[in-house]
Structures are given as C-alpha cells and as structure tokens.
Chain A
Amino acid sequence: MSSVWTQLEPHLAGVEKPARYIGLELGAQRPVPGQGAVSWLLTYPDTYEIGLPNQGLQILYEILNERDDAVAERSYAPWGDLEAVMRRARIPLFSVDTHRPGHEFDVLAFNLSAELTYTNLLNCVDLAGVPVRAAERRPEDPLVAAGGHCTYNPEPLADFLDFVVLGDGEEVVADITRVLGGWKASGRTEGSRQAVLRELSHVEGVYVPSLYDVEYEPDGGRIRAVTPRFADVPERVEKRTIADLAQWPYPKRQLVPLTEVVHDRLNVEVFRGCTRGCRFCQAGMITRPVRERPADQVRTMVTDGLRRTGYDEVALTSLSTADFSGIEHVVQGIVDDPASCGQVSVSLPSLRVDAFTVGIATQIQKARRTGLTFAPEAGTWRMRQIINKLIREEDLYGAVESAFSSGWRRVKLYFLTGLPSETDDDTLGILELARNCVEIGRSHTKGPSVKASVGGFVPKPFTPFQWFGQNTADELGRKISLLRDAGRRARGVQLTWHDPKASLVEGLASRGDRRLGPVIEQVWRQGGTFQEWSEHFRLDLWLSAMADHGLDVDWYVYRHRTEDEVLPWDHISAGLHKDFLWQDWQDALAEVGLPDCRWTPCYDCGACTGYGIEHVVASATPPAGGSQGTGQDLSTGHLPGAVPVALRPRPLAGARA
C-alpha cells in the first residue's frame, strides 16, 4: 500500500482550503486490508464540503470497514486549483484516509445525487489513472461503480460504469464484496473482468450496463428494445430494499470534519421512504415503502451521537420528518435531556406545511432561531392537486401565522415552476402566496421577510411526470420574468430562482439514454467540470457537444413521451408498476389528488407487494395537523374538523418583539 502524501504535502499550502484533503475527521478510519480483502474507494464526485456529510457514503464506509473481507476509504473531487497541481505533478486521485492512490483500490464507487456531477465522475476516474470508458479498462484497473438516486436512470453513464447499484446499499455491498473477493483471489487475469461483471449481474440490485444491448428505431429516435445479451442476465434489475431500518443504526460513528462543510451537525435518519405521493418527487417514489426507525433507537442514536461528536445541533432526517410517529415526544425528549445543558438545537430539515409542525419547531428551536422553510411547491390549489402536494392555502397561512407569532422573523418558501399544465395564473399564484405571507407577518413583526425560491421543474424517472416534456429554458425564463415583474411591486418578498439553463442540462441527463455518453465525455474533455457550481456551468459546451453528436436537445428534454414509448430505464425497477405511474399521471392531468397510503387503503403502486415488504409505521393514525392528503376531502382540500394544534410558544432568549 502506498501513499501520495509526501508528494501532495508541499503543494497544499498553495491551494484553497487545504484541510479538505487531509482527512483526520473524528470517526475516520485507517483500515489495513487483510489478505484478499476487497478495497473500496467511496467517492463523492463533488467537493469535500458537499460530499463529506453524505450519509449514504458514511453508512457504507462503516459497514464495509466492519467486515473482515473489505476495507473502505473515501475520496472527493479535488477543486480546480489542486487538480491543476495533481495533473502537473502526476499525483493521482487519492483517499483522504491514508492518501492511497485511487488506482490501487478494487472498486471506485461513486455516490450520484445530482446529474450535474456526471462530468466530475469522469474527471475523478481519469485522475485516478483509470480509463474513463469501461470497455477500455484493463484487468489491473479498478471496477467503477455508482449508487444513489441518479442511478435510477444510469443510461447516460452506461459507457463509463462497470456496474450500478440500485436502492438501499446496506445489504448489497456485502454480496458484491463476496463476488469481488473471488475475483481478487483468482488473480484478476485477462478476461476475468467480464466474468466478474457477469457474476455481479446475478446479484439482486446490481445492474451491469455492458451486458445489455440497446436497439433504436430505424429513424434513430426512440428506443425499440433493451435486451440482455445472455440468458442468465436479468431482463429487469430490481432495486434493493432493506426491510427494517432498526437493524441498521448507521452511521454509528458519524464523521466530524475538521473544516467547514454543509449540514455540519449530527444527522439521525428517522425514517426512509415517503408515501405522501408528490408526483414531481423522485425520492418519494423510489424509496418506498416507509420504514420508520423505532423511537427508542432514535433517542439512543441522538444521545450517543451528541456525546461522541460534540455537536450542538442534531437534524432528524427523512423526506418528511413531521410524519414520524410521535415526533413531538422525540424532539421534546432531546431538548429536555439534562445532558444537552439546554444548548442543543434540533432541526427538522423537511417541514410539513401546517401549524402543528411549526408548533414543534417553536418548542425545540429555542436558540438560534432565524428562519423557517416550507415547500408549498406550487402557487394555486389546482396546481397543487396536479402535483399531489395537497396543501390548502389556509394550511400555509396557518403555518406562517404560527411562525411569525412565535418569534420567527424569516420564512422561506420553495416553489417549482414549469409544472404540467401550469398557466401564468398558476405561476403568478406563487407571488400571491408569498405576498399574503408578508401581510400575515406584518401584524406580528415590523419587517417580515418572505423569501420565495423558485426552481425550474425537471421531470425524473420513476415519477408520474416521467412522460412530461420539460418546459424550455426560454419558457422557464419567461415565467421567472413574470414573477420578477410582479415581485417588484411586492414589498417584503424576495425572489430567488434556479438558472433555467442548468435545468435544461439536468433534464438531458435525467431522462437521457446511452447516446448521451459521448456528449458527457466531450463536455468533460473540454473542461466542463463542477457544472453544478454556477460560476463553472457552461451551457455552450453541452449544446455544442449535443450538436457534434447529432443529438437534438428538444427531443430529449422538451418532448412529451407517450404511453407506449420504451423509456431508457424500463429495464430498471424501483418496484413501482409502470401502469400505476401512468394512471397517476392521468389523475394528475385530471387534477385528482391521491391520499397517503400509510393511513388509507393500498392502491398497489408495487413497492410493497412486489418485494413482500410493508410499511413500518409505529402509529396507525395519521399525525396531527392532517394536511397533505391525510383525512382531507380531496375535492376541496378541506378537513372534516379543526386542526388539532396546541401551540406552546416559548419566550425567546434575548431579543423580544
């Protein structure tokens, strides 16, 4: 085992934020591989400060290092200044744990959470000294793999990935390690790469792109079929799902970095999956069913985690934490724990929009109370029915009223624009909501601030909107202009928006097929890395690469798909029936909402029945508050009774209005 540290060290004083490259985090490991142990380099294809907190990567890091037959280290994309040094001084991509070069590992495993990091993946592979194209790799090269939400459409990266892992990684990494251990023991001879990939394709949840042929229609347009090249290779690759989160209380030793990162706090995942059924939300669709962690385990993980890490903030993470059974008792228990000395704050990163949720937030965020964030997602009730985000205006106003009246001074609202059948009235409804929220704030505080953040909608695979043609960049730009014009007359509303040009490229990668591989490669070769960083984003590179390869942006991004179309990810399965998704798409167009199946009868999306698993939810009744499709009359959105909210505002330390 070698280390590049002595080569790297003299250069670190000359680069920005060198602490990103030294490791040494609390919880970092310096694994010593035993004889034949499979070595994984878990890589996040973005900067250290974005990648370090990634919980998926940290979970696998621990699970693999607990095994006798595996070791895992971590790597992140070096920033441009260090990359230039590395290329000049011939320093390969390295792990931050032991500064071992990337090409010495058996697997380079990437977490893919965002489409705009794809070119960074290529860059990391290349920096590791490994050929970027899977077909050109030699027996001594590592296998290049990816997991994470973006891999539900792995096709644009099919040329570069040896294998892809779908779904929860906790169990499948053990199966993969066993297969790779055999490959290692065999001496990785000529031809063994193909054999090991073939064997990996038999592991449930593992997809090997090179084992499938893609045929296109003669006109060069749609896909005719995707077929396995061998009889033993599955026609459809199912995702992996762990049945019981309680068996996986990870990370047990969350990494505490020495330098600043995003989400720099203790994170405890309280449940996985979500069945609110928001139709734009890929995460909610692909992670079903809901699996709650037992409340006692949550408490233990919080108490032990705070003591071990020295953090003074804990986030209870999930796709909708207010839905956790008995959430109010759990958070109150954390705040009242004498061990926290009143200095621990709890954050709920994804708040449901209702006064009940604000009540919880008010109780727990005694200190450092700055702003609350809600995601109504759309400006009108009609639009929210279409996207199945069943928040009534009254829910939002109630939440905002509670927030301002209990001492919050800033409210942030998340919206999407460019949604199916969106009219200008729907778009302008965004500003209307924001303006009304400011009005509510005025009766409680002098200068209420409401920030409306607007993102361009990008349709994602395995959602009911996967057939929808994305709005053009011009159309998204026009809608943002509409909002900006209206916003000029709305005091107290601050509007921010996502660059429609970036949404365009996200759309390309989100629903693209294998023909995009050369496009991604060309953009990378022309220097288009860190595309999710606005200062580095280069639309011109993407457009010229598309043109150079004879591909049509409109066809890939803006075109509505039909029911009979073979989608590039049809040979992948997130457990959802395609006809369920199609029906839900039709319901959306008919403006019909769908209730949350945790507390209503099953509508057979396929996620539970297909895998023989069930929701794991501690409470048989929906949480108080009741908005978003629980116990609502879905035609009007009205609730049968009053919302059972008990607000217990606490006095603020220091400032008081």
Chain B
Amino acid sequence: MTAPTTAAAPAERQGPRGPAPRVRIRFAKHGKVRFTSHRDVARIWERALRRAGIPIAYTEGFSPRPKLSFGLALSTGHESHGEYLDVALREAPEPVAVERLPARLRPVLPAGIDVQSAVSLPAGADSLQQVVTSCTWHIEVGDVTPPDAATAVARALAAPELTLTRERKGQTVTDDVRPAILDLRLLGPVTEVVAPLAPRATEIGTALEAELATQPRALRPAELITAIDPTWTLTRVTRIHQWTQAGGARREVIDLGPAATPPPHAERRAS
C-alpha cells in the first residue's frame, strides 16, 4: 500500500491557513429523544450538520467519516442539560459564522436535542475527554423513602472505602470508587401526580444530586447507586453540569449564564 498522491489528497486536511478550524457545540438532550444511544446521537449529528449545509471535515482513507468528537457518553435513557461535541470544519469559500450555528442547527435536529451555544476552539485545544474533570448529576431512585436513602448515603460517605466491581475491557476490576464521589446530597422525595384532574402527589422515590469525577476513570450514576445500595433502581438521571478546571476553579465547559440554566424537571414538558 502506498500513500495517496498529493493530487488525490483532500484539500480539507491542511489548508493554506493551517489546520482546519474546530467548533465546540453545547446542546441539551431531553424528553423522548433521551432513549437514543450515544451512537445514535453521533449519527443524528452527522446528518444534521449535512442538512444544515455546514462544511464538515472528513477523515481520510477507505471509508471517510465526518470528524466529530463527543465527550463522555451519556447512557441511553439519561437526560442532560449540557452535552458537548467538537466539529472539525473543512475549508469553505465562506467561513462558518460560529455565532449563527445554533440557529442553523436547531431546525434540523429532532425535538429534544436543543443547541444552546457554539464557540470556536483555538488551534490545539484539548479534547472534551481531556477537559471535563467531573459531572453533576440529578439522580432519582424509585421505591426508596428519603429517610432510608439518607441513612444509606451517610453510610456510603462515611465509609473508608466504597468498592465496586465493574467490567472493563473484558476484565473484571474491583476498585474503590469513594474518591470519585466529589459531592453527594439528598434533595428530597420524588413525587408523581396520580390524577391529573384532582392533583394529589404521591411519593414514589428519592432524588439525589451527585458530583462525580470523570478522571482517571468516570464513575457513572448507575455505578454510584450500585455502590450505595444494589437494591435501588434508577428511575431518572439528568446530567446537570460538565465541569472543567480553569485557574484553580471549576467552571462549565461552555457557561450559558445563570438565566439559561433550566430548572430540574423542566424537561418533563418535552416528553
């Protein structure tokens, strides 16, 4: 096998003005669409970008793919106030106006995937996998009363170590996940309106909020719950924040400002 000749090399790889520009997009995932998988979301984005006519760069070789990279996968069924993806653009006659991207992308994405913001990335910027250090999660567990949950949470936080056995690359690994729990709080009961015409709320579980580290290895909400009490069942999980470190403090990867953060449960309207 020989390398392709210069003539055949795609122009987008290395334009005259340096490497292809990249943009970082923040979007929410709420409602019915939360049942799509991480791979589904990647495919949805590929098609949406083509529909919007945004000049994306492709990988080279036998089967060219659009150059998109996502951060930490969101499990199927979980919602998120802030997901991220980086898109490499190809040289185009007209440079892409990054501030207009959300408006161009919103109409070509399915209901429940809402583009919130897009920014240009400086050349050589770290990948999402590198920059995100922790995530804050809203976690609802079913059939557990808040007092019982409080006891279990306190016990887990007080324990010198919290071991969890997980599969990793085909191998079973047992390790202490306590250091990955940066914060864990009880929010209160989860209620459900049983009769829409005569509202009467019933308690059906407990809501928690947790900040979980993503490095060196991410602790997932489902794993956290298993570590606290394997009999609990997750009913609803929402990623509230994805944090990065900047100047010794943590901040959102793309901060939308306080006004833009949806209250928890706002997403229910979408489903």
Contacts and interface: CB of A to CB of B under 8 A. Distances in A.
Contact of B4 (A18, A25, A341, A654): A654
B51 A309 contact: yes
A337 interface: no
Nearest to A258: B36
Contacts of B234: 13
A256 B33 CA distance: 14
Interface residues of B, number: 35
B33 A24 contact: yes
Interface stretch (A4-12, A188-196, A284-292, A640-648): A4-12
A310 B46 contact: yes
Interface string B19-42: 000000000000011011101100
B60 interface: yes
Interface stretch (B108-116, B131-139, B256-264): B108-116
Nearest to B7: A651
A639 to B, nearest CB: 36
Given A19-B36, A653-B60, A655-B62, A10 B235 contact: yes
Interface string A340-378: 010100000000000000000000000111000000000
Interface string B42-78: 0110111111000100101111100000000000110
A307 B35 contact: no
Interface in A295-331: 307-312
Nearest to B109: A26
B110 A26 contact: yes
B33 A18 contact: no
Given A24-B32, A24-B33, A312-B50, A653 B110 contact: no
Given A24-B112, A258-B110, A653 B47 contact: no
Contacts of A651: 8
Provide the main secondary structure of the chain A interface. loop
Contacts of A21: 35
Which residue, of A24, A258, A307, A652, has the highest number of chain B Cβ atoms within 10 A? A258
Interface string B77-121: 100000000000000000000000000000010111000000000
Contact of A653 (B44, B51, B64, B77): B64
A22 interface: yes
B6 interface: no
Given A24-B110, A258-B40, A343-B64, A307 B2 contact: no
A224 B61 CA distance: 65
B44 A367 contact: no
A23 to B, nearest CB: 7
A474 interface: no
A18 B35 contact: yes
Contacts of A368: 62-63
B77 A655 contact: no
Contact of A307 (B32, B51, B111): B51
Size category of the binding interface on chain A: 35 or more
B1 interface: yes
B172 interface: no
A408 to B, nearest CB: 12
Contacts of A655: 1, 61-62
B47 A310 contact: yes
Contacts of B77: 12-13, 18
B44 A258 contact: yes
A11 to B, nearest CB: 11
A565 interface: no
A423 interface: no
Nearest to B33: A24
Contacts of A308: 51
Given A23-B32, A310-B49, A653 B4 contact: yes
B151 interface: no
B47 A259 contact: no
Interface in A237-282: 256, 258-260
A484 B166 CA distance: 43
A180 B1 CA distance: 65
Nearest to A13: B77
A138 B181 CA distance: 59
A489 interface: no
A260 B62 contact: no
Nearest to A306: B50
A656 interface: yes
A656 B8 CA distance: 13
A651 B35 CA distance: 42
Interface string A1-45: 000010001101100011101111110000000000000000000
Contacts of B231: none
B271 A9 contact: yes
A162 to B, nearest CB: 32
B60 A5 contact: no
Nearest to B55: A341
Contact of A24 (B8, B43, B108, B111): B111
A528 B103 CA distance: 50
A654 B60 contact: yes
Nearest to B2: A656
B271 A5 contact: yes
B56 to A, nearest CB: 9
A656 B36 contact: no
A343 B61 CA distance: 12
Contacts of B64: 343, 367, 653
A66 B77 CA distance: 34
A26 B52 CA distance: 14
A370 to B, nearest CB: 8
A19 B8 contact: no
Contacts of A369: 62
Nearest to A23: B32
A26 to B, nearest CB: 7
A18 B64 CA distance: 29
A410 to B, nearest CB: 13
Given A309-B47, A310-B47, A259 B1 contact: no
Contact of A258 (B33, B50, B108): B33
B36 A259 contact: yes
B35 A343 contact: no
Interface string A363-397: 00001110000000000000000000000000000
Contact of A260 (B40, B48, B51, B63): B40
Q: Chain B CB within 10 Å — which of A5, A259, A260 has the most?
A: A259
Contacts of B235: 10, 13
Contacts of B46: 310, 312
Nearest to A651: B8
B61 A19 contact: no
B8 to A, nearest CB: 7
B46 to A, nearest CB: 7
The 8 tightest CB contacts between A and B, nearest first, are: A310-B47, A18-B35, A310-B51, A310-B50, A13-B77, A22-B32, A654-B61, A654-B62
Given A5-B32, A23-B32, A653-B60, 14 more contacts: A17-B37, A18-B35, A18-B77, A19-B37, A19-B76, A21-B35, A22-B32, A24-B112, A25-B110, A259-B36, A310-B47, A310-B50, A652-B62, A653-B61
Interface of A: 5, 9-10, 12-13, 17-19, 21-26, 256, 258-260, 307-312, 341, 343, 367-369, 651-656
29 contacts: A5-B32, A5-B271, A9-B271, A12-B77, A13-B76, A13-B234, A18-B35, A19-B36, A19-B40, A21-B35, A22-B35, A23-B32, A24-B32, A24-B33, A24-B111, A26-B110, A259-B40, A310-B47, A310-B48, A310-B108, A311-B50, A312-B46, A341-B55, A343-B64, A367-B63, A653-B62, A654-B4, A655-B62, A656-B2
Interface of B: 1-2, 4, 8, 32-33, 35-37, 39-40, 43-44, 46-51, 55, 58, 60-64, 76-77, 108, 110-112, 234-235, 271
